[in-house]
Structure 1
């Protein structure tokens, strides 16, 4: 079982092409940073791949739960496909959340953009969780997001309140703690419902930009700064588009011992 590991600003995934059937327990073992390979999730390509058609990908969070679409994961798939098909820069990636147009603008530099389509943004409302109060907008861009606006943010607030906020929604939600730095800049801390605290998340960056734009706090183009780095997000009438760096970390092969362990939990 071969795999390729990619990361985007510290948000890392294991890509398996083709993607074998994996139980939630097997995914948890693969993503365990001590007992397995270690990652925020797994990307499973449903082959054989034909770049002239939408390429189907299944995404599973580190806790074994399904993810309808990872924006960073889709960009990783795009870079992976560009490596397999030199000279081709545009791909369509099909996920349970819909099809996404991916463009590899510079394969050597790992610059990849993805379109997520329109996001559904709820009106602002207060949210009270575990004795703490927040100003929230709920965003659905293929995944559920609770976007919380604060006068300042840091890793501490995400660690302290992320799990309680995520668990307060049916099926859990991804959580973004947002500080508006200006009309074209946001600072965001992320707590993902299936991976916990992460240094970056593409879908979360898009959700934060969508919520801020809907409130009139930012323009159509913003830089979203996260602990792992920044991405550029555009919010327009045809939907949301994000661009940033993706890196291939390494290629590897699952050992015989780990394969046996995966079979046992399967």
Structure 2
């Protein structure tokens, strides 16, 4: 087995286990692997476990690297963490609770229901770098709250949102000259004190149906603005997650599911190795 494909609310990743494949994640190889016409096809790659992996030593976090479909390495992915937690319970028989480590730090995870794929992730604290600032992009005057939850986000509350608007404003905001490292973008419509709706544009993948870290950032931003309470249902085109914020610590709960597993054809593996 060379890969297992998972999806979390329509956001799909390929788990590639270096213990089994020896896969080298060059940007070119990741792009080819994620290509939906010439490769397997996915929004990104979850490479792991890397280094020690012992279900009997759950105090030791399991290391994971996350890559976007454009070949760039991602600091953190809430959906990706849920998918990889399921992979470890299914393929390495990890217990219900353990920890994962990415380049953004360590995240505790809990597989609440392995059959239904319900996973809880401790996403840490949100760091707000700008609150309700004036921002001009795409010919519009906007109000943006910038949030870091291990990766950067620009949250834009609006009265109406749509996929088309996310595709228009996402790159205009996320690639704005004032954000030299780029940013993920969330357009948010507040539905009430306990629910929001978001549309997402990711700096490494473009428009996407769902994102766990985007849901965390959006909930933290609108909570800071006083628009929602401590528990928020975040609705996305691919489905919903629950965000709880207690003492500024964010906990995300949502689902993930395996889709398929497979082997690379020899010619395709040779192409990956040649990247």
TM-score tier, shorter chain, comes to over 0.9
Q: Does 1:179 align with 2:186?
A: no
Over 6 Å off, 4+ runs: none
Greater shift in the superposed pair: 20-29 or 175-184 = 20-29
- Give the TM-score of the pair, scaled to structure 2: 0.93
List alignment gaps of at least 5 residues for structure 1: none
Q: Is the 8 A contact 1:213 1:235 kept in 2?
A: no
**Matching residue of 1:235:** 245
**Matching residue of 2:155:** 147
Greater shift in the superposed pair: 198-207 or 128-137 = 128-137
**Matching residue of 2:6:** 6
**Matching residue of 1:161:** 169
Q: How does 1:66-77 map to 2 (within 5 A)?
A: 66-77=73-84
- Give the TM-score of the pair, scaled to structure 1: 0.97
**Matching residue of 2:116:** 109
**Matching residue of 1:30:** 33
Distance 1:17 1:48, change over 3 A: farther
Q: Is the 8 A contact 2:243 2:250 kept in 1?
A: yes
Alignment partners' CA distance in 1, 2:54 and 2:232: 34
Q: How does 1:92-131 map to 2 (within 5 A)?
A: 92-121=99-128, 122-131=130-139
Q: Does 1:258 align with 2:246?
A: no
Q: CA offset at residue 85 of structure 1? A: 4.3
**Matching residue of 2:54:** 50
Alignment partners' CA distance in 2, 1:140 and 1:69: 11
Length, aligned pairs only: 265
Q: CA offset at residue 22 of structure 1? A: 1.4
Alignment partners' CA distance in 1, 2:106 and 2:193: 30
Alignment partners' CA distance in 2, 1:175 and 1:183: 22
Alignment partners' CA distance in 2, 1:130 and 1:226: 23
Q: CA offset at residue 48 of structure 1? A: 4.3
Q: CA offset at residue 14 of structure 1? A: 0.5
**Matching residue of 2:199:** 189
User: 2:44 aligned to 32, 41, 45, which one?
Assistant: 41
Q: CA offset at residue 264 of structure 1? A: 2.2
Root-mean-square deviation (CA), in Å? Answer: 1.2
Q: Does 1:245 align with 2:245?
A: no
